[in-house]
């Protein structure tokens, strides 16, 4: 009998080592090397590591080109994030915090596709078929084209795929599925890597659109080796606060579309409801006539979104003031405060500064700089901003306001929601005609913007 070999693998990046190490040599994480038994690789069937094809290399100019066929779901927000719909044969990885609504989203998606006549196989390794039926009753997701199975054994999953021959496959979750030919526990690095590779081969060979649900770590990243994100075609994160009803679906990798789009949903008793106008949602509780509050026009892919920025500047008794930001990069906030101190003469060295994006949205584009600067200055001077102003623009280190992209779409979104004025970069006014009914103020410096916004 052959001697069983033992190796150690990093749970974060998948780096392997013949001996235990306190620090992973691949990603530098501490105490992530776990013991695993040597993997026994299949040599036959769908699990074969090598796919034998008879195709020969061809010049790229001789390969047919064209758009990938897509399957549109009834969830337009999901279609937007995926780039227009689900691509047959694609492998999608969905991650999110426990209880955020991943299973609800995928069950509603499965029902939407099954209602169009497609065969859908929903395999759950965490819930029984009765629990899945109870959720389907609550969501109204009942159709004879939706097949449900509770199984974690890869061999049984293969038999189910062969018998149903689905067009859309959901595995909830990849950490619960195990291959009996791999000598390690379910959820381990070897099992997750081997099972994902197997589903990738199934998706590509049979043309089945496959969705894998992945657990996340306490830092918010998908659990398991980083190799998973390289193997799949699309990586989606389902985000949101437990104490709020809205949810954000964000793509961080997409081989068939843009990674800048977001989908916005609202969780209710009957499942997830699409939010067609997110600006109204994020501005619904905005206070009027208070200092430190401004509205910024941000772009999420091709969609303009109006979001409220709140700032609070308060005197501190400590020698080192605090700088805290939520929804905006902390380093970007420090840069804006430095510009206000150097170019505008604001003495913020004895002031704590807090910056928050209301609604839990994360803004990572430089166009929010000007609105953040106005919010901080408004709170510092205790001077309220006008309630119907929209502000956007990028700030340079010399205090200039730089042009931003898609200014026309931002202005039209502000006009649609009833705002009266827009303070924006002067250079962004070139090449298009502002709409009637809204005042446009072009500024070239931060000083001009503060004078226009705060008087």
**pLDDT (0 to 100) of residue 3:** 54
The answer to whether residue 243 sits within a structural domain is: yes
Of the residues 251, 276, 301, which one is the last residue of a structural domain?
A: 276
How far from 300 is each of 126, 184, 207, 365, CA to CA, in Å?
34, 42, 31, 9
Q: Are residues 141 and 4 in the same domain?
A: no
110 assigned binding-site residue: no
99 assigned binding-site residue: yes
66 assigned binding-site residue: no
Q: Torsion over CA of 122, 257, 96 and 107, rounded to 10 degrees?
A: -30
Q: Are residues 269 and 285 in the same domain?
A: no
352 assigned binding-site residue: no
- In this structure, are residues 170 and 120 in contact, taking their beta carbons and an 8 Å threshold? yes
**Cα angle for residues 367, 370, 375 (degrees, 5° grid):** 125
pTM (2 decimals)? 0.78
Show the tokens assigned to 55: 């195709």
CATH code of residue 138: 3.40.50.300
**Distance of alpha carbon 409 from alpha carbon 291, whole angstroms:** 27
How do 91-96 and 234-239 pair as beta strands?
parallel
Q: Are residues 75 and 31 in the same domain?
A: no
455 residues of the chain, pLDDT tens digit each: 445 678 888 877 778 888 899 998 888 888 888 887 764 444 444 444 444 556 788 898 888 776 778 899 989 999 999 999 999 999 999 998 888 899 999 999 999 999 999 999 999 998 999 999 999 999 999 999 999 999 999 999 999 999 999 999 999 989 999 999 888 888 888 888 889 999 999 999 999 999 999 988 766 677 666 778 888 999 999 988 766 778 889 899 999 888 888 898 988 888 999 988 888 878 888 888 899 999 999 998 788 999 999 999 999 988 899 999 999 999 999 999 999 999 999 999 999 999 999 877 889 899 999 999 999 999 999 999 999 999 999 999 999 999 999 999 999 999 999 999 999 999 999 889 888 889 999 999 999 999 999 97
Q: Are residues 395 and 446 in the same domain?
A: yes
Q: Are residues 295 and 257 in the same domain?
A: no
Number of domains present in the structure of the chain: 3
The answer to whether residue 44 sits within a structural domain is: no
The answer to whether residue 381 sits within a structural domain is: yes
Q: Are residues 162 and 99 in the same domain?
A: yes
437 assigned binding-site residue: no
98 assigned binding-site residue: yes
């Amino acid at each position: 009998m052959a001697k069983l070999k033992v190796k150690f693998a990093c749970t974060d990046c998948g780096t392997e080592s013949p001996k235990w190490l306190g620090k992973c040599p691949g990603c530098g994480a501490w105490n992530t090397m776990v013991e695993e038994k040597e993997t026994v690789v299949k040599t036959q069937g769908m699990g074969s590591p090598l796919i034998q094809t008879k195709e020969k290399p061809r010049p790229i100019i001789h390969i047919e080109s064209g758009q990938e066929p897509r399957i549109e779901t009834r969830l337009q927000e999901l279609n937007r994030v995926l780039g227009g719909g689900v691509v047959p044969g694609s492998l999608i990885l969905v991650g999110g915090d426990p209880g955020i609504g991943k299973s609800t989203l995928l069950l509603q998606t499965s029902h939407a596709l099954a209602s169009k006549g497609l065969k859908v196989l929903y395999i759950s390794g965490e819930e029984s078929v009765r629990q899945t039926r109870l959720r389907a009753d609550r969501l109204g997701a009942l159709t004879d084209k939706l097949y449900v199975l509770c199984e974690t054994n890869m061999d049984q999953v293969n038999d189910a795929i062969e018998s149903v021959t689905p067009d859309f496959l959901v595995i909830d979750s990849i950490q619960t599925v195990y291959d009996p030919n791999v000598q390690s526990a379910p959820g381990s690095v070897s099992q997750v890597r081997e099972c994902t590779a197997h589903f990738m081969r199934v998706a590509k060979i049979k043309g089945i659109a496959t969705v894998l649900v992945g657990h996340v770590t306490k830092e918010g990243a998908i659990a398991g080796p980083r190799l998973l994100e390289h193997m799949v075609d699309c990586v989606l994160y389902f985000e949101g606060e437990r104490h709020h009803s809205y949810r954000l679906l964000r793509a961080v990798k997409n081989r068939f579309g843009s990674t800048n789009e977001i989908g916005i949903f609202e969780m209710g008793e009957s499942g997830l409801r699409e939010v067609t106008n997110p600006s109204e949602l994020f501005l619904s509780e905005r206070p009027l006539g208070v200092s430190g509050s401004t509205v910024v026009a941000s772009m999420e892919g091709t969609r303009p979104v109006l979001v409220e920025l709140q700032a609070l500047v308060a005197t501190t008794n400590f020698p080192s003031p605090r700088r805290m930001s939520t929804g905006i990069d902390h380093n970007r906030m420090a840069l804006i405060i430095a510009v206000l101190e150097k170019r505008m003469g604001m003495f913020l060295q004895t002031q704590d500064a807090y910056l928050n994006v209301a609604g839990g949205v994360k803004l990572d584009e430089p166009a929010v700089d000007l609105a953040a600067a106005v919010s901080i200055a408004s709170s510092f001077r205790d001077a309220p901003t006008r309630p119907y102003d929209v502000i956007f623009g990028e700030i340079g280190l010399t205090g200039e306001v730089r042009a931003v992209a898609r200014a026309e779409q931002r202005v039209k979104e502000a006009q649609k929601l009833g705002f009266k004025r827009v303070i924006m970069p002067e250079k962004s006014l070139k090449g298009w005609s502002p709409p009637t009914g809204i005042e446009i103020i072009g500024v070239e410096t931060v000083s001009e913007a503060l004078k226009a916004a705060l008087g």
